[in-house]
Protein backbone atom coordinates (compact mmCIF):
# COMPACT_ATOMS: atom_id res chain seq x y z
CA UNK A 1 0.00 0.00 0.00
CA UNK A 2 2.87 2.35 0.80
CA UNK A 3 4.46 1.86 -2.65
CA UNK A 4 1.14 2.74 -4.29
CA UNK A 5 1.12 6.08 -2.51
CA UNK A 6 4.76 6.90 -3.27
CA UNK A 7 4.04 8.24 -6.78
CA UNK A 8 0.47 9.46 -6.31
CA UNK A 9 1.42 13.09 -6.93
CA UNK A 10 3.29 12.13 -10.11
CA UNK A 11 0.35 10.05 -11.37
CA UNK A 12 -2.06 12.94 -10.73
CA UNK A 13 0.20 15.36 -12.60
CA UNK A 14 0.57 13.00 -15.59
CA UNK A 15 -3.19 12.40 -15.61
CA UNK A 16 -3.99 16.13 -15.58
CA UNK A 17 -1.49 16.84 -18.36
CA UNK A 18 -2.93 14.02 -20.44
CA UNK A 19 -6.46 15.37 -19.99
CA UNK A 20 -5.25 18.87 -20.88
CA UNK A 21 -3.57 17.56 -24.03
CA UNK A 22 -6.77 15.75 -25.06
CA UNK A 23 -8.85 18.90 -24.49
CA UNK A 24 -6.45 20.94 -26.61
CA UNK A 25 -6.46 18.31 -29.37
CA UNK A 26 -10.27 18.04 -29.45
CA UNK A 27 -10.62 21.82 -29.41
CA UNK A 28 -8.21 22.28 -32.28
CA UNK A 29 -9.90 19.55 -34.31
CA UNK A 30 -13.32 21.01 -33.63
CA UNK A 31 -12.18 24.47 -34.66
CA UNK A 32 -10.51 23.08 -37.79
CA UNK A 33 -13.61 21.13 -38.69
CA UNK A 34 -15.85 24.15 -38.16
CA UNK A 35 -13.59 26.42 -40.19
CA UNK A 36 -13.30 23.96 -43.10
CA UNK A 37 -17.02 23.30 -43.27
CA UNK A 38 -18.31 26.77 -42.64
CA UNK A 39 -16.87 30.07 -41.60
CA UNK A 40 -14.70 32.56 -43.35
CA UNK A 41 -12.21 30.00 -44.67
CA UNK A 42 -14.91 28.34 -46.82
CA UNK A 43 -16.25 31.72 -48.04
CA UNK A 44 -12.73 32.89 -48.81
CA UNK A 45 -11.88 29.78 -50.82
CA UNK A 46 -15.12 30.06 -52.87
CA UNK A 47 -14.38 33.74 -53.62
CA UNK A 48 -10.81 32.84 -54.58
CA UNK A 49 -12.04 30.21 -57.05
CA UNK A 50 -14.48 32.71 -58.56
CA UNK A 51 -11.83 35.34 -59.06
CA UNK A 52 -8.99 33.08 -60.13
CA UNK A 53 -11.00 30.81 -62.43
CA UNK A 54 -13.67 33.27 -63.54
CA UNK A 55 -16.51 30.95 -62.62
CA UNK A 56 -19.87 31.55 -60.99
CA UNK A 57 -20.57 31.13 -57.28
CA UNK A 58 -22.36 27.79 -57.65
CA UNK A 59 -19.51 26.33 -59.70
CA UNK A 60 -16.93 27.67 -57.24
CA UNK A 61 -18.91 26.19 -54.27
CA UNK A 62 -19.06 22.80 -56.00
CA UNK A 63 -15.30 22.95 -56.62
CA UNK A 64 -14.67 23.79 -52.95
CA UNK A 65 -16.86 20.90 -51.81
CA UNK A 66 -15.17 18.54 -54.30
CA UNK A 67 -11.71 19.49 -53.04
CA UNK A 68 -12.31 19.96 -49.31
CA UNK A 69 -15.55 18.31 -48.26
CA UNK A 70 -14.91 15.09 -50.18
CA UNK A 71 -11.50 14.79 -48.43
CA UNK A 72 -12.73 15.97 -45.06
CA UNK A 73 -12.09 12.62 -43.28
CA UNK A 74 -8.50 12.51 -44.50
CA UNK A 75 -7.94 16.15 -43.52
CA UNK A 76 -9.37 15.61 -40.06
CA UNK A 77 -7.24 12.48 -39.62
CA UNK A 78 -4.16 14.39 -40.74
CA UNK A 79 -5.02 17.20 -38.31
CA UNK A 80 -5.41 14.69 -35.50
CA UNK A 81 -2.07 13.05 -36.27
CA UNK A 82 -0.29 16.36 -36.59
CA UNK A 83 -1.71 17.75 -33.38
CA UNK A 84 -1.03 14.48 -31.57
CA UNK A 85 2.58 14.41 -32.79
CA UNK A 86 3.22 17.98 -31.63
CA UNK A 87 1.56 17.47 -28.26
CA UNK A 88 3.24 14.07 -27.78
CA UNK A 89 6.65 15.62 -28.46
CA UNK A 90 6.19 18.29 -25.80
CA UNK A 91 4.63 15.69 -23.48
CA UNK A 92 7.67 13.44 -23.78
CA UNK A 93 9.98 16.40 -23.38
CA UNK A 94 8.25 17.25 -20.11
CA UNK A 95 8.23 13.62 -18.94
CA UNK A 96 11.90 12.98 -19.73
CA UNK A 97 12.87 15.87 -17.46
CA UNK A 98 12.07 13.55 -14.54
CA UNK A 99 14.51 10.97 -15.87
CA UNK A 100 17.13 13.66 -16.38
CA UNK A 101 16.62 14.84 -12.81
CA UNK A 102 16.93 11.29 -11.46
CA UNK A 103 20.04 10.78 -13.62
CA UNK A 104 21.59 13.94 -12.17
CA UNK A 105 20.76 12.67 -8.69
CA UNK A 106 22.47 9.36 -9.47
CA UNK A 107 25.54 11.26 -10.67
CA UNK A 108 25.65 13.14 -7.37
CA UNK A 109 25.22 9.84 -5.51
CA UNK A 110 28.06 8.15 -7.38
CA UNK A 111 30.29 11.21 -7.16
CA UNK A 112 29.85 11.27 -3.37
CA UNK A 113 28.99 14.97 -3.60
CA UNK A 114 28.27 16.79 -0.32
CA UNK A 115 24.75 17.72 0.70
CA UNK A 116 21.36 16.11 0.18
CA UNK A 117 20.02 15.04 -3.22
CA UNK A 118 17.01 17.13 -4.24
CA UNK A 119 14.32 16.02 -6.72
CA UNK A 120 10.89 17.45 -7.68
CA UNK A 121 8.21 16.97 -5.01
CA UNK A 122 6.41 14.31 -7.07
CA UNK A 123 9.61 12.19 -6.95
CA UNK A 124 9.96 12.50 -3.19
CA UNK A 125 9.95 8.71 -2.75
CA UNK A 126 12.96 8.31 -5.06
CA UNK A 127 14.67 11.29 -3.41
CA UNK A 128 14.24 9.71 0.02
CA UNK A 129 15.60 6.35 -1.15
CA UNK A 130 18.56 7.97 -2.93
CA UNK A 131 19.49 9.95 0.17
CA UNK A 132 19.11 6.79 2.26
CA UNK A 133 21.44 4.99 -0.17
CA UNK A 134 23.87 7.91 0.08
CA UNK A 135 23.90 7.78 3.86
CA UNK A 136 24.37 3.99 3.73
CA UNK A 137 27.31 4.41 1.37
CA UNK A 138 28.84 7.00 3.69
CA UNK A 139 28.47 4.62 6.63
CA UNK A 140 30.02 1.80 4.61
CA UNK A 141 32.87 4.08 3.65
CA UNK A 142 33.34 5.00 7.30
CA UNK A 143 33.30 1.30 8.25
CA UNK A 144 35.91 0.61 5.58
CA UNK A 145 38.11 3.33 7.01
CA UNK A 146 37.69 1.86 10.48
CA UNK A 147 38.52 -1.60 9.12
CA UNK A 148 41.59 -0.19 7.42
CA UNK A 149 42.64 1.46 10.67
CA UNK A 150 42.14 -1.82 12.52
CA UNK A 151 44.27 -3.58 9.96
CA UNK A 152 46.98 -1.00 10.54
CA UNK A 153 46.55 -1.48 14.29
CA UNK A 154 46.94 -5.23 13.80
CA UNK A 155 50.26 -4.70 12.03
CA UNK A 156 51.42 -2.29 14.72
CA UNK A 157 50.40 -4.53 17.63
CA UNK A 158 51.76 -7.61 15.91
CA UNK A 159 55.12 -5.94 15.36
CA UNK A 160 55.30 -4.65 18.93
CA UNK A 161 54.05 -7.76 20.71
CA UNK A 162 56.17 -10.16 18.71
CA UNK A 163 59.29 -8.01 18.82
CA UNK A 164 59.65 -7.97 22.61
CA UNK A 165 59.75 -11.73 23.33
CA UNK A 166 61.61 -12.37 20.09
CA UNK A 167 64.31 -9.87 20.98
CA UNK A 168 64.68 -11.41 24.44
CA UNK A 169 64.95 -14.90 23.00
CA UNK A 170 67.61 -13.84 20.50
CA UNK A 171 69.52 -12.03 23.22
CA UNK A 172 69.64 -15.03 25.56
CA UNK A 173 70.51 -17.42 22.76
CA UNK A 174 73.37 -15.14 21.71
CA UNK A 175 74.64 -15.20 25.28
CA UNK A 176 74.53 -18.99 25.31
CA UNK A 177 76.44 -19.08 22.05
CA UNK A 178 79.08 -16.46 22.91
CA UNK A 179 79.70 -17.26 26.57
CA UNK A 180 81.87 -20.37 26.51
CA UNK A 181 82.52 -20.54 30.26
CA UNK A 182 78.91 -20.03 31.37
CA UNK A 183 77.84 -22.03 34.42
CA UNK A 184 75.32 -24.83 34.10
CA UNK A 185 72.94 -23.01 36.44
CA UNK A 186 73.04 -19.85 34.34
CA UNK A 187 72.73 -21.86 31.14
CA UNK A 188 69.62 -23.53 32.50
CA UNK A 189 68.21 -20.14 33.50
CA UNK A 190 68.79 -18.66 30.05
CA UNK A 191 67.26 -21.70 28.38
CA UNK A 192 64.20 -21.50 30.63
CA UNK A 193 63.74 -17.81 29.84
CA UNK A 194 64.19 -18.44 26.10
CA UNK A 195 61.65 -21.25 26.25
CA UNK A 196 59.14 -19.07 28.12
CA UNK A 197 59.59 -16.26 25.59
CA UNK A 198 59.16 -18.72 22.71
CA UNK A 199 55.97 -20.05 24.26
CA UNK A 200 54.78 -16.47 24.64
CA UNK A 201 55.43 -15.96 20.92
CA UNK A 202 53.40 -19.04 20.13
CA UNK A 203 50.50 -17.79 22.28
CA UNK A 204 50.53 -14.41 20.54
CA UNK A 205 50.55 -15.93 17.08
CA UNK A 206 47.71 -18.29 18.03
CA UNK A 207 45.64 -15.38 19.33
CA UNK A 208 46.10 -13.36 16.16
CA UNK A 209 45.18 -16.37 14.02
CA UNK A 210 42.16 -17.04 16.21
CA UNK A 211 40.73 -13.53 15.96
CA UNK A 212 41.08 -13.74 12.18
CA UNK A 213 39.26 -17.08 12.18
CA UNK A 214 36.40 -15.86 14.38
CA UNK A 215 36.00 -12.72 12.24
CA UNK A 216 34.90 -14.87 9.29
CA UNK A 217 31.15 -14.93 8.71
CA UNK A 218 31.02 -18.51 7.38
CA UNK A 219 32.00 -20.25 10.60
CA UNK A 220 29.84 -23.32 11.24
CA UNK A 221 29.04 -24.13 14.85
CA UNK A 222 29.18 -27.77 15.87
CA UNK A 223 26.31 -27.95 18.36
CA UNK A 224 26.16 -30.67 20.95
CA UNK A 225 24.73 -30.95 24.45
CA UNK A 226 27.31 -30.51 27.21
CA UNK A 227 27.29 -30.58 30.99
CA UNK A 228 28.06 -26.93 31.68
CA UNK A 229 28.65 -27.48 35.39
CA UNK A 230 31.33 -30.08 34.73
CA UNK A 231 32.98 -27.88 32.09
CA UNK A 232 33.20 -24.95 34.53
CA UNK A 233 34.56 -27.21 37.29
CA UNK A 234 37.26 -28.44 34.92
CA UNK A 235 38.07 -24.84 33.95
CA UNK A 236 38.55 -23.79 37.59
CA UNK A 237 40.75 -26.83 38.21
CA UNK A 238 42.99 -26.03 35.22
CA UNK A 239 43.37 -22.41 36.37
CA UNK A 240 44.37 -23.34 39.91
CA UNK A 241 48.14 -22.83 39.36
CA UNK A 242 47.51 -19.38 37.87
CA UNK A 243 45.17 -18.49 40.72
CA UNK A 244 47.71 -19.62 43.30
CA UNK A 245 50.39 -17.28 41.92
CA UNK A 246 48.24 -14.28 42.90
CA UNK A 247 46.72 -15.83 46.01
CA UNK A 248 43.29 -15.87 44.38
CA UNK A 249 40.38 -18.21 45.01
CA UNK A 250 37.66 -19.09 42.54
CA UNK A 251 34.19 -20.11 43.69
CA UNK A 252 31.70 -21.77 41.34
CA UNK A 253 28.03 -21.20 42.16
CA UNK A 254 26.03 -23.44 39.83
CA UNK A 255 23.45 -26.17 40.14
CA UNK A 256 24.50 -29.72 39.41
CA UNK A 257 24.32 -30.95 35.85
CA UNK A 258 23.26 -27.78 34.01
CA UNK A 259 22.94 -28.80 30.37
CA UNK A 260 23.71 -26.48 27.46
CA UNK A 261 23.53 -27.06 23.72
CA UNK A 262 26.43 -25.22 22.09
CA UNK A 263 29.74 -25.57 20.29
CA UNK A 264 31.73 -26.94 23.24
CA UNK A 265 35.21 -25.99 22.00
CA UNK A 266 34.30 -22.42 21.13
CA UNK A 267 32.25 -21.87 24.28
CA UNK A 268 35.11 -23.20 26.41
CA UNK A 269 37.25 -20.51 24.78
CA UNK A 270 34.77 -17.87 25.97
CA UNK A 271 34.88 -19.05 29.58
CA UNK A 272 38.66 -19.39 29.43
CA UNK A 273 39.04 -15.79 28.21
CA UNK A 274 36.65 -14.42 30.82
CA UNK A 275 38.32 -16.21 33.69
CA UNK A 276 41.78 -15.27 32.41
CA UNK A 277 40.69 -11.64 32.24
CA UNK A 278 39.31 -11.83 35.80
CA UNK A 279 42.62 -13.25 37.06
CA UNK A 280 44.60 -10.61 35.20
CA UNK A 281 42.79 -7.64 36.73
CA UNK A 282 41.94 -8.96 40.21
CA UNK A 283 43.57 -7.66 43.36
CA UNK A 284 45.90 -10.21 44.94
CA UNK A 285 44.24 -12.38 47.56
CA UNK A 286 40.66 -11.74 46.42
CA UNK A 287 37.90 -14.07 45.27
CA UNK A 288 36.59 -14.65 41.74
CA UNK A 289 33.00 -15.89 41.52
CA UNK A 290 31.48 -17.81 38.58
CA UNK A 291 27.68 -18.06 38.68
CA UNK A 292 25.38 -20.00 36.35
CA UNK A 293 21.58 -19.65 36.40
CA UNK A 294 19.28 -21.82 34.31
CA UNK A 295 16.15 -20.06 33.06
CA UNK A 296 13.24 -21.21 30.92
CA UNK A 297 14.43 -19.58 27.71
CA UNK A 298 18.00 -18.58 28.53
CA UNK A 299 21.08 -19.41 30.53
CA UNK A 300 22.92 -16.62 32.36
CA UNK A 301 26.56 -16.84 33.45
CA UNK A 302 28.42 -14.22 35.48
CA UNK A 303 32.16 -13.87 36.03
CA UNK A 304 32.86 -11.36 38.81
CA UNK A 305 36.14 -10.23 40.34
CA UNK A 306 37.45 -7.55 42.69
CA UNK A 307 39.85 -5.09 41.12
CA UNK A 308 40.12 -1.54 39.92
CA UNK A 309 36.83 -0.03 38.79
CA UNK A 310 36.74 0.30 35.00
CA UNK A 311 35.78 3.83 33.88
CA UNK A 312 32.58 4.03 31.84
CA UNK A 313 34.31 5.32 28.71
CA UNK A 314 36.69 2.34 28.79
CA UNK A 315 33.93 -0.10 29.64
CA UNK A 316 32.14 0.83 26.41
CA UNK A 317 35.21 -0.19 24.38
CA UNK A 318 36.24 -3.25 26.33
CA UNK A 319 35.05 -5.71 23.66
CA UNK A 320 36.87 -3.97 20.82
CA UNK A 321 39.73 -5.77 19.15
CA UNK A 322 43.19 -4.84 20.50
CA UNK A 323 41.73 -2.68 23.27
CA UNK A 324 43.48 -3.02 26.62
CA UNK A 325 42.56 -1.53 29.94
CA UNK A 326 46.22 -1.01 30.77
CA UNK A 327 47.40 1.29 28.01
CA UNK A 328 50.99 0.74 29.15
CA UNK A 329 50.57 -2.93 28.13
CA UNK A 330 51.72 -4.29 31.51
CA UNK A 331 49.24 -7.16 31.37
CA UNK A 332 51.00 -8.77 28.41
CA UNK A 333 47.78 -9.62 26.56
CA UNK A 334 46.92 -8.73 23.01
CA UNK A 335 43.55 -7.20 23.79
CA UNK A 336 41.88 -9.90 21.68
CA UNK A 337 40.48 -12.23 24.35
CA UNK A 338 37.25 -10.34 25.05
CA UNK A 339 36.76 -9.56 21.36
CA UNK A 340 36.99 -13.28 20.62
CA UNK A 341 34.55 -14.03 23.45
CA UNK A 342 31.99 -11.56 22.11
CA UNK A 343 32.22 -12.95 18.57
CA UNK A 344 31.71 -16.53 19.75
CA UNK A 345 28.74 -15.56 21.95
CA UNK A 346 27.24 -13.59 19.06
CA UNK A 347 27.61 -16.64 16.81
CA UNK A 348 25.54 -18.53 19.39
CA UNK A 349 22.87 -15.78 19.16
CA UNK A 350 23.66 -14.71 22.69
CA UNK A 351 24.88 -11.51 24.34
CA UNK A 352 27.79 -10.52 26.55
CA UNK A 353 27.96 -7.36 28.67
CA UNK A 354 30.22 -5.84 31.29
CA UNK A 355 29.62 -3.57 34.28
CA UNK A 356 32.00 -2.21 36.87
CA UNK A 357 31.46 -0.24 40.05
CA UNK A 358 32.84 -0.10 43.58
CA UNK A 359 35.92 -2.11 42.56
CA UNK A 360 33.77 -5.02 41.38
CA UNK A 361 33.60 -6.00 37.71
CA UNK A 362 31.00 -8.42 36.34
CA UNK A 363 30.90 -9.97 32.87
CA UNK A 364 27.49 -11.44 32.04
CA UNK A 365 26.92 -13.98 29.27
CA UNK A 366 23.35 -14.72 28.19
CA UNK A 367 22.78 -17.73 25.94
CA UNK A 368 19.52 -19.02 24.47
CA UNK A 369 18.27 -22.43 25.56
CA UNK A 370 17.89 -24.51 22.40
pLDDT in tens, 158-192: 666 677 778 888 888 888 888 878 888 888 888 88
Does the pLDDT value for residue 331 go beyond 70?
Answer: no
Select from 80, 114, 148 the last residue of a domain.
Answer: 114
Q: Is residue 268 part of a domain?
A: yes
Q: Is residue 131 part of a domain?
A: no
Find the mean pLDDT for residues 148-164: 69
Which of the listed ranges 168-172, 238-242, 287-291 does the model predict with the highest average pLDDT?
287-291
Give yes or no: residues 239 and 347 share one domain: yes
Q: Is residue 319 part of a domain?
A: yes
Distances (CA, A) of 248 to 106, 239, 270, 271, 291: 63, 10, 20, 17, 17
Give yes or no: residues 235 and 362 share one domain: yes
Give yes or no: residues 205 and 256 share one domain: no
Give yes or no: residues 274 and 158 share one domain: no
Give yes or no: residues 206 and 242 share one domain: no
The pLDDT score that the predictor gives to residue 75 is 72
Give yes or no: residues 231 and 158 share one domain: no
Query: What gap in Å lies between CA 183 and CA 218, rounded to an integer?
Result: 54
Owning domain of residue 71: 2-114
Give yes or no: residues 241 and 206 share one domain: no
The domain that holds 196 is classified in CATH as: 1.10.287.130
Q: Is residue 130 part of a domain?
A: no
Give yes or no: residues 47 and 169 share one domain: no
Question: How many domains is the chain partitioned into structurally?
Answer: 3
Contact partners, residue 47, CB within 8 Å, separation at least 6: 60
Q: Is residue 119 part of a domain?
A: no
**Which sign, positive or negative, has the C-alpha torsion 47, 48, 51, 57?**
negative
Give yes or no: residues 31 and 161 share one domain: no
Q: pTM of the prediction?
A: 0.53
Amino acid sequence: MKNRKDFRQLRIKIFLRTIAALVVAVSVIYITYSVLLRGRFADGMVALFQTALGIKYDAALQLYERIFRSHMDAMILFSILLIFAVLFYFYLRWLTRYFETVSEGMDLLLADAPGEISLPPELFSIERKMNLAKHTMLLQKSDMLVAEQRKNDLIMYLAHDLKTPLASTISYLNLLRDEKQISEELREKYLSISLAKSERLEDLINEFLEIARYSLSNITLQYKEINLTRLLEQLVYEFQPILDRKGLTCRLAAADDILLKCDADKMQRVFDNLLRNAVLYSYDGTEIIIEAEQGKDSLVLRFSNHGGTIPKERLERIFEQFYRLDSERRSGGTGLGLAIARQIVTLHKGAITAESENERTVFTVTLPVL
